[in-house]
């Protein structure tokens, strides 16, 4: 996957997993599979999985990160990961 430019992704908006995405937890994090685009993706951090799971119920992506215990110092890294997921249609604006 090309390096993601976090364009179009906004931490202050609410996101959710695309309905055609399946999530399989793994010891390293999780596997994501999109049945529409047929793309596989990896979450290489269990906390990122926790963030993704909380997205739909949080008012913003930022709030989901905070609820999952992501510190402000780590926020950029998690935002980039979420942006990549959004760009590949794994996430959508809710």
Partner 1 sequence: MRLVDQFERGLDAPICLTWELTYACNLACAHCLSSSGRRDPRELSTVEAKAVVDELARMQVFYVNIGGGEPTVRPDFWELVDYATAHRVGVKFSTNGVRITPEVAARLAASDYVDVQISLDGATAEVNDAVRGVGSYATALRAMDNLHTAGMRGFKISVVCTRHNVDQLDAFKALADRLGGQLRLTRLRPSGRGADVWDELHLLPGQQRQLYDWLVEHGEGVLTGDSFFHLAAYGSALPGLNLCGAGRVVCLIDPVGDVYACPFAIHESFLAGNVRSPGGFGGVWRTSELFRSLREPQSAGACGSCGAYDACRGGCMAAKFFTGLPLDGPDPECVIGHGATALSTVDRHGAPRPAGDHSHTSGVRGGPVPVTIGRHPPEHACDESPLAGIGAGP
* Chain contacts with partner 1 (rule: CB under 8 A): 1, 20, 22, 24, 26-28, 31-33, 35-36, 38-45, 48, 80-82, 84-85, 88, 90
Q: In the complex with partner 1, which residue's Cβ is closer, 34 or 58?
A: 34
For 38-58, b where at least 16 C-beta lie within 10 A, e where not — what string? eeebebebeebbbbbbbbeeb
Q: In the complex with partner 1, which residue's Cβ is closer, 43 or 58?
A: 43
Q: Hey, is 17 helix, strand or coil?
A: strand
Q: Which 8-state DSSP code applies to residue 46?
A: H
Tell the residue number behind the tokens 């590949």, with chain if given. 88
In the complex, minimum distance from the CB of residue 65 to partner 1, in angstroms, rounded to a whole number: 13
Q: In the complex with partner 1, which residue's Cβ is closer, 51 or 58?
A: 51
In the complex, minimum distance from the CB of residue 49 to partner 1, in angstroms, rounded to a whole number: 10
Determine contact, residues 85/9, Cβ cutoff 8 Å: no
In the complex, minimum distance from the CB of residue 63 to partner 1, in angstroms, rounded to a whole number: 19
């Amino acid at each position: 996957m090309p390096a993601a430019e976090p364009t179009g992704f906004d931490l202050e908006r609410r996101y959710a997993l695309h309905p055609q995405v399946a999530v399989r937890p793994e010891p390293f994090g999780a596997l994501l599979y999109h049945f529409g685009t047929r793309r596989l993706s990896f979450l290489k951090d269990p906390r990122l999985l926790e963030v993704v799971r909380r997205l739909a119920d949080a008012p913003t992506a930022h709030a989901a990160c905070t609820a999952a215990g992501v510190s402000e110092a780590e926020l950029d890294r998690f935002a980039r990961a979420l942006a990549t997921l959004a760009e590949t249609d794994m996430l959508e604006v809710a």
